[in-house]
Structure 1
């Protein structure tokens, strides 16, 4: 969504990096270009004016004039101001002291409220809660049925005593749902209200009546991130008519210019709490202003990438793989397939790679990545026998032909996979060697009973523990950085990740 804005800002900052010192004219020119970039991204004019004003004030201050690298300092200021514009820090849901906590959803028709209700219920259930979905959208055809389907997919109960399709009283349904939740021991109630086209006074009053009936702990405004400049008037109308405590951005995976995301926090004064990025129930997460600002500036989003990886890789799988690496055991095609399936659970591979720092410069290559390639790799491995997965060296020509025929690919595809797997084996082996080097361990601990003098390394008799932080590990003997192919994980043949630079480690080891 922010590709156009990211490209414009990257071009602006590349001009700054060539300057050793920044004059007032440089700052004015930079601010002018950033202003145009924000306006082109459909950011509301009051938001742009406030942003540029703060940027100029800070850029002319001591933090830039006295900086060793003024251009980088300006980039840092832009990042910090983007974070502030987006809300500063993530805000969590406020839970009631006495259950159930009531969450009311409001927004325009078509903004994605009903789908968002299912996503939020699934997410809360994953956090250990017992949510209840309440069908109070009795106007839109099949809205009740849609919520029931979503509730079934999320494994969450749906309270829908009235059929909808223009029939029923949503206020009474909302009021009765609270008592139902208490009887069924549900600790969270999510009320899905009817949307409206534009600013509909009658429907806005209905939303206000539902609010008064259930006294919600959170009134969340769901806004389509593709709405553009209309986000301002819509957000103000809901703030004044219903009163909101938070915002959810839906359809963040769209191709609009993203102005709503940068405008709604400033206009409503309420934080953006969640972001919805697709049609699947799992395409939903907490909104982090700092991470979104980093994505806009092409800095990647490593923290979200780590969180997604932790969710995709099961604990026993991580422990088993770590034990293999540390123990020097052979990395098999079965392990390779298991890792590949975990990566697929993280979402589309192009989205995963886009979170890596520096990948913003490779958007054309990312756009060409097709997840079907990974389905092909899975089919090839599953066409092998258990013995062949464990020991690929036994795969002669006839076996490769059989595997190709069984998986519907060519022998060339099978050969390419085996070559990449061999590279992955080498990388895993080298990682195991690095893990076992002295540089990766903590110095022996001393205790009064076994403390002794002399010897290198200081203090024997203690138990060596793995070191956490405190210096870079030494490279193992014979380590060949060129052999570490970052494409060994089975990416398409034409795709190349940035090369890893180990020159500083090598120089340090040589000097040592």
Structure 2
């Protein structure tokens, strides 16, 4: 996952400050040194690091901070604010044309993921804007580029305009625009050619397409794993095309994440989306404040809540919460919840969005094999209806029968049942606003220290408010029925 190394180092630097009753200028210098080294190791541009550290030091060195009641927390807040500012302060939406179609031109180097990202963007526009997008296949050089775009388009049911590989890309775009206007498509997404490096031929072709269609968006797709080269690439494309925004791909991979923190500062152009997975749904709006919170190990509850809202049925979620509270949560509910959770993405990524969890030792190297979910499903589906509805009747003979039916070792069946019982007990406490169960999991102390505890308390208050809203909504629905 991106930023893991940076998060680890920054958290250690901040933790040293939190343990001190009073922060001296020497402590501040040591912390600034740690921050500088952490950012450089994360592939953040040297000049960006230099300016960032200077700004944080100047703001943190004030007498009102060092002599304040809690200087460590104030310094953490300054670092958080400056990280947010460095990456753009707020999310930037897509530009939209006053009259359809809105034209989006996808540019970037070969292998950055333009075609797949174009598909993800089109699906997002379909789902959230109820739009009717169309692709124009303008990459006539890369082998099978048009075939790949058609395969992506088939997955999400979006039309593709293409003229093969023997026609000039500018002519393809011109004819494609005529078709889009005739068919009243809301968005036109142009999949342009890339190269292994920036060259004049590529830029001239892209400039000609830009001049022809005057796109509302020129989105540069960048592989976040390219590190410092990502900044150079962004600068090169911006100089020639005046890009309007950036999409970072493969942010879920083993990347140090420095590109995300450098591109905005170097080019002045916003990062609009990030790709964090291989599925067509794995394209998220880039929120600088949420990313800063993740980097500092404080979680990203807003994104987690949004993912949950997209994938969870509200009435079913309320019923599940009630069952957890009453300790009547059974294996049927467990199976339904597991299906919905897996739709949200890799479980290790979801857990790390919770406050304080990013660098918890128990979860640090968590890497769950998707096959484990299939094995758990097989065990649950091997149960009788009575066993699923009454988890407490699982005696040794029933467990042996489950192991044989699911084709899994008895040890695995016992482990799954034990984890289910522990989860059921913990979730009952959490839904009642009691986090002692989670504290016991982590040696009596909430992950993330006081900040983790505060974040969890905020989450508990929000859960309580959300519950009250859901109850009111359900009552209204029942009255209407």
Q: Deviations over 1:388-442 (max 9, x none)?
A: 212345545443322211111133433333344344555566678x4xxxxxxxx
3-state SS of 1:223 partner: strand
Match of 2:97 in 1: 96
With over 3 angstroms needed to count, the CA separation of the structure-2 counterparts of 1:187 and 1:46, relative to structure 1, is same
Match of 2:201 in 1: 202
Alignment of 1:288-299 (within 5 A): 288-299=287-298
Alignment of 1:35-54 (within 5 A): 35-54=36-55
**Aligned 8 A contact 1:404 1:411 in 2:** yes
**Aligned 8 A contact 2:119 2:153 in 1:** yes
Match of 2:341 in 1: 343
With over 3 angstroms needed to count, the CA separation of the structure-2 counterparts of 1:398 and 1:20, relative to structure 1, is closer
Rounded Cα–Cα distance in structure 2 between residues aligned with 1:290 and 1:485: 26
Match of 2:306 in 1: 307
3-state SS of 1:21 partner: coil
**Aligned 8 A contact 1:106 1:221 in 2:** yes
With over 3 angstroms needed to count, the CA separation of the structure-2 counterparts of 1:401 and 1:11, relative to structure 1, is closer
Q: Deviations over 1:277-320 (max 9, x none)?
A: 22221221101111111111111111111111222212342244
Match of 2:71 in 1: 70
RCO higher in structure (CA 8 A, sep ≥6) = 2
Alignment partner of 1:185 is 2:184: yes
TM-score of the two chains, using structure 1 as the length reference = 0.81
**Higher deviation after alignment, 304-313 or 411-420:** 411-420
Alignment of 1:89-488 (within 5 A): 89-127=90-128, 128-160=130-162, 162-164=163-165, 167-322=166-321, 324=323, 328=326, 330-362=328-360, 365-371=363-369, 372-426=371-425, 434=432, 484=437
**CA-CA distance at 1:497 after TM superposition:** 5.4
3-state SS of 1:221 partner: strand
Rounded Cα–Cα distance in structure 2 between residues aligned with 1:247 and 1:295: 20
TM-score of the two chains, using structure 2 as the length reference = 0.86
**CA-CA distance at 1:381 after TM superposition:** 0.7
Rounded Cα–Cα distance in structure 2 between residues aligned with 1:55 and 1:153: 47
With over 3 angstroms needed to count, the CA separation of the structure-2 counterparts of 1:198 and 1:421, relative to structure 1, is closer
Rounded Cα–Cα distance in structure 2 between residues aligned with 1:334 and 1:33: 49
**Aligned 8 A contact 2:101 2:188 in 1:** yes
**Higher deviation after alignment, 291-300 or 399-408:** 399-408
**CA-CA distance at 1:203 after TM superposition:** 0.6
Q: Deviations over 1:10-43 (max 9, x none)?
A: 2222222233333333333322332222122221
Match of 2:467 in 1: none
Q: Deviations over 1:33-60 (max 9, x none)?
A: 3222212222112211221221122112
Give 1 or 2 for the bigger CA radius of gyration.
1
Q: Deviations over 1:353-398 (max 9, x none)?
A: 1111222223564424423333222111111222321234554544
Q: Deviations over 1:95-124 (max 9, x none)?
A: 112111111111111111111101111111
3-state SS of 2:56 partner: helix
Rounded Cα–Cα distance in structure 1 between residues aligned with 2:394 and 2:7: 47
Match of 2:21 in 1: 20
Q: How many residues align?
A: 446
**CA-CA distance at 1:198 after TM superposition:** 1.8
3-state SS of 1:51 partner: helix
With over 3 angstroms needed to count, the CA separation of the structure-2 counterparts of 1:376 and 1:182, relative to structure 1, is same
**Aligned 8 A contact 1:174 1:210 in 2:** yes
With over 3 angstroms needed to count, the CA separation of the structure-2 counterparts of 1:4 and 1:171, relative to structure 1, is same
**CA-CA distance at 1:223 after TM superposition:** 1.2
3-state SS of 2:358 partner: helix
**Aligned 8 A contact 1:295 1:355 in 2:** yes
Rounded Cα–Cα distance in structure 1 between residues aligned with 2:272 and 2:124: 13
**Aligned 8 A contact 1:331 1:428 in 2:** no
Q: Deviations over 1:485-511 (max 9, x none)?
A: 799xxxxxxxx5575879x99xxxxxx
With over 3 angstroms needed to count, the CA separation of the structure-2 counterparts of 1:212 and 1:224, relative to structure 1, is same
Rounded Cα–Cα distance in structure 1 between residues aligned with 2:226 and 2:429: 50
Rounded Cα–Cα distance in structure 2 between residues aligned with 1:82 and 1:9: 12
Rounded Cα–Cα distance in structure 2 between residues aligned with 1:334 and 1:98: 49
Rounded Cα–Cα distance in structure 2 between residues aligned with 1:336 and 1:194: 47
Unpaired segments ≥5 residues, structure 2: 447-452, 458-481
Match of 1:450 in 2: none
**Aligned 8 A contact 1:63 1:73 in 2:** no
With over 3 angstroms needed to count, the CA separation of the structure-2 counterparts of 1:249 and 1:426, relative to structure 1, is closer
**Higher deviation after alignment, 25-34 or 170-179:** 25-34
CA RMSD of aligned residues (A): 2.6
3-state SS of 2:160 partner: strand
3-state SS of 1:226 partner: helix
**Aligned 8 A contact 2:357 2:363 in 1:** no
More helix by share: 2
Match of 1:509 in 2: none
Rounded Cα–Cα distance in structure 1 between residues aligned with 2:361 and 2:277: 20
